[in-house]
A and B are shown apart, each in its own frame.
Chain A
Amino acid sequence: MHYKYFLMASSVLLLSACGGSGSDDTPTINGNEIPILSVANIPSDITKSQTIELTATASDNDGTITSVIWEQTAGLKVLDEPIAANSVIINIPSALSYSPKEYAFNVTATDNEGAIAVKTVSFIARNAMDEFAAARLLHQGSMGPTLNEIRKAQGLSEQQWLESQIALPIEYHRSYLVKSPDQDDFRYINRIDGWWKATLRSDDQLRQRVAFALSEILVVSDANSSLSSQPEGMVTYYDLLLKNAFGNYRELLEDVTLSPIMGTYLSHLGNEKADDALNIRPDENYAREVMQLFTIGLEELNKDGSAKLDAQGNTIATYGQSQIEGFARVFTGWTFADSETFKRKSRDYIKPMQAFSEYHSSKQKVLLNNEVIPEGYGPEESLQIALDNLFNHANVAPFITKQLIQRLITSNPTPQYIERVANVFNDNGDGVRGDLAAVIKAIYLDDEARHFGSVLSYQGKVKEPLLKTVQFWRNLDARSLEGEYRTWNLINNYGQGPMRSPSVFNFFRPDYQPAQLRSDELVAPELQIAGDTTLIGTMNEHFSGLVWGTAEARDDLNPKELYVYIKSDMSFLKSNGVGALLEQYNVLYFAGSMSADTRQALLDLDAYFNDAEYRERVSYLLYIIAISPEFNLQY
């Protein structure tokens, strides 16, 4: 709806006043020349909270100016009543929403004969994020922001940052996948190494974050799977998520469905039509999970994500066994691309799967909403109809957008927030359904995400453990001298790893409710992996990484080992003192939400050390920040 408008409005100043002109052209009324009025130029880019001065210059060729009066004609009230003055100071209100706000003023000059000249000044004030607002947006919209990224975003409006991120070229992970020295093949650890490099180095951080979220919704995993020997295919799957992150959900769904990695993971690759003599019928695995997890879920939903209830107050199942069998038939006949025959497989884990009609079930296929594919349809046609059928189900918008909100912004979105985003999913304003760029913008620009208006006491989410380390590593230039990121212990250290879920149900479920949140009826999905061993594992990882594992703590660096480099924080501390360092950390790690108590605790921690122990001081501050409850919340 309004995106085009923003693009136009964000940089345009509508200034209708123009310079004065010579007396020859000055219009006259009954022989009296009307006043000559001009307005001084105003800045071309105006932001909320800015103070600007509007100045008029008036003269009269055949008399005198008796009054110059400014009055406001549009915008939030900044002039309570008309003001008689050549200049007025305008204090533009601070941001109350993400949308640019139009302001307009008339200035009227009157001469001694009562003739008037009127000029209009109008402009659009956009948001300009302060350092805290920028940090908060980037904590939500990146894999873990750096100070530099926050500083660059500062002063931009929220949608300027989002749009600039969306416009960036895609940093595919495939380009970061390299074989280890002396190895002929790609190994599992190479894809992990590539994930780190892409995550740490890429500029398209919003896309990286959305793709990471999608990898926890449209789950594939090479944990306990033959897929661990297909790192190139796995990376290709991740790249498919990156490619479609701002594309259309329908296309994403098709790419996911035809991925040979997904085909292997949920076993529709090689799935064939029934053989009644052998009691063989189509595999139901993908049919079930594509509905339960990737599109509609188990129960009919209202647009705000709540369950629909029947007359008896019971939830309503979205599908039954006949739909399972219908979709199972749809997903028959597909195997690896470029296979000679259905049975002589190419084992190409990169290209989308291809179909062999003779292995496809041509029986009737029962779909959702009473739609049926009649007998005789082939694999490609059936797939298109079936994916359209899924994609157009009313559940998709609330089911998928709620999970995206939970992965990106807050564990407990209000139904109203879900509905606002679901509406955008259903129609981006141009009649397009499933436009993920529009959905992502709606998610990030919503008042509930941006904290405009009142902020809910339970707003936000527990950070994913892996992403905490990502942020430290991005800021502290983590690397090994040999250059590889060989992190073998992701599950032990974090309870998660990219595409390492124990099952298609992800590391944590969207409705996980720890005992402590039962009485508040809140969920905290990420706490499902915060078991004792994982919490200790993550704590150990932070301690050994930030205290023992800094390059500055070592006399000799092991070329294979990963170190963080804290020397720039050490010199900042040396030059500016601990107070200034904590201010910087408050922006960088807390997005401005460091409480006075936490700040005092960090100061007291620091007081233990001798002034010149810069390395220890920085290390222990970072370590305590890493485990602190405030840092662990993405607010």
Chain B
Amino acid sequence: MSINRRQFLSLCLKGGVSAAALTSLQLQALTGSVNAIELGDYKALVCVFLYGGNDSLNMLVPLEGEQRSLYEQSRQNLAVSTPIALNSATNFAGGVGLHPSLAPIKRVFDSSNLAFVGGLGTLLSPTTLDDYKNKTVTIPKHLFSHNDQQASWMYGREKQSLNSGWGARLLERLEQQDQFAANISLDGTNLWQTGNQTKAFALNKSGISKINAFSDYKPRMEHVTTIMNRIMSNTVHPLSSAYADSFKSAINNTQAMNNALETAPALITSFSDTSLSEQLAAVAKTISVQSKLSTQRQVFFVSMGGFDTHDNQLDTHPALLSTLAQGLSEFDSAMKELDMADKVTAFTMSDFGRTLTSNGDGTDHGWAGNQIVMGGAVKGGDIYGELLTQHLDGPQDTSGGRLIPSVANEQYFATLAQWFGVPSSELVDIFPNLSNFDHTTLDFFV
């Protein structure tokens, strides 16, 4: 802990953070009094990031009654016409239905391994339309901007100097940051997994990454490797050093991962050939060799692009949802096959929801939306948070059908963090805006 504490202190000082501004957890870290957390069993979080801003309000739509007519009036030609009814009590009096393209996850929902969380978005404190219009509460910066809102979902707190992703913060709090296999991305670098002391290992979605140079004639290979190691060690320039550092860890970690993956059992569950399913297959494969990687906690990042449906939404969005649902359903089967379902929770994040109004054949950047959480530990078959009334110019519409969230994304993150092993008393340290809300967590875990 002492090295981490020193690094932490030095980062605080460089970042210009005064001791008075430190949270209780940070103060404890400075004084060395953070309690080590005993991690009993293995757990993993799998983030499925839907890049571009998923029109997630269209994943769950009202079936009948006033909600339905407000919905149809608002969404016009983009209203979902043939939803699949879900057996779930919700705030929609006429019942709620699933987008038909999500059919593959209906099975998972019905088996109580999948839940939805409604009305989520970036919020700093509870916000009403009056608050928004009169600026009586602080509004998150750069709403509706892709990269800023992606960052705010990944950071799990407002932008600040030396920020870090909340996935990385969980690993650092649970002291898993030294295990490279604790932090794995199937889609390269992302902020969610980048912390002060950890960054993601990038795993090829085909699993093993063969290193060509190491299959060379052995004595020559060994000589060349010695030279390579030498050349990677004598760097002076900070950018060259950062490159060399990344290069060295890529080699070491890829070799270690290859060794572990070579022992992976073949799965009966088959995955589709979409990019998402391939990524999830690689996650499943990695989880299957978890015991060889000697890590008790893992966070995984997979992603899908294309959700920025300004155009042609009636064709593209159903296809995207279908790919998503197929991938999630396959992953659920694989986890059950590995008997890991209770230990692994997958969840979605996305830049933002989208406008209720259309631009003719698509939608624009909105705010609140719905998310999916899946795993054996999830109290599935239910909907948490709040399904927002899809009502243009209604009580939560800032303009054009950009709805104010009723649940902060940090409440969603904190629930996942608590399940992952962060003590309840420390959730506010990791997600500072929670102190502005009555509840720090939602109730979607068993």
Contact = CB atoms under 8 A, between A and B. Distances in A.
A457 B199 contact: no
Contact of A629 (B195, B231, B357, B399): B231
Contact of B237 (A457, A495, A518, A598): A457
Contact of A283 (B204, B234, B360): B360
Interface in A583-598: 595, 597-598
Contacts of A536: 204, 209, 211, 250-251, 254
A530 B228 CA distance: 18
Interface of A: 224, 266-267, 270-272, 275, 278-285, 288, 292, 298, 315, 317, 321, 324, 411, 457-458, 460-462, 495, 502-503, 505, 509, 512, 514-522, 524, 527-537, 539-540, 543-544, 547-548, 595, 597-598, 601-602, 604-605, 608, 620, 623-624, 627-630, 632-633, 635
A278 B77 contact: yes
Nearest to A463: B243
Task: Identify the interface centre among A266, A458, A534: most chain B CB within 10 Å of its CB.
Answer: A534
A535 B246 contact: yes
Interface of B: 10-11, 14, 51-52, 73-77, 141-142, 144-148, 162, 185, 188-189, 194-204, 209-213, 216, 220, 223-224, 227-228, 230-232, 234-247, 249-251, 253-254, 305-306, 308, 310-311, 356-362, 364-365, 392, 399-401
B202 A284 contact: no
A518 B227 CA distance: 29
Contacts of A530: 243, 246-247
A503 B242 contact: no
A547 B247 CA distance: 19
5 contacts: A224-B305, A524-B239, A536-B204, A624-B228, A627-B231
A519 B210 CA distance: 33
Given A597-B234, A604-B227, A608-B220, A503 B305 contact: yes
A462 B235 CA distance: 13
Given A267-B311, A279-B76, A518 B11 contact: yes
Contacts of A630: 235, 240
A267 B305 contact: no
Contacts of B365: 284, 288
Contacts of B201: 532
Given A282-B359, A536-B209, A536-B250, A528 B10 contact: no
Contacts of B254: 532, 536
A517 B200 CA distance: 16
Contacts of A534: 188, 202
A455 B234 CA distance: 20
A540 B306 CA distance: 30
B242 A270 contact: no
A79 to B, nearest CB: 40
A281 B400 contact: yes
Contacts of A317: 141-142
B44 to A, nearest CB: 19
Given A509-B147, A514-B242, A521-B14, 8 more contacts: A266-B310, A267-B311, A283-B360, A321-B399, A458-B237, A515-B195, A597-B230, A629-B244
B253 A532 contact: yes
A492 to B, nearest CB: 8
A267 B359 CA distance: 10
Given A503-B52, A509-B147, A280 B357 contact: yes
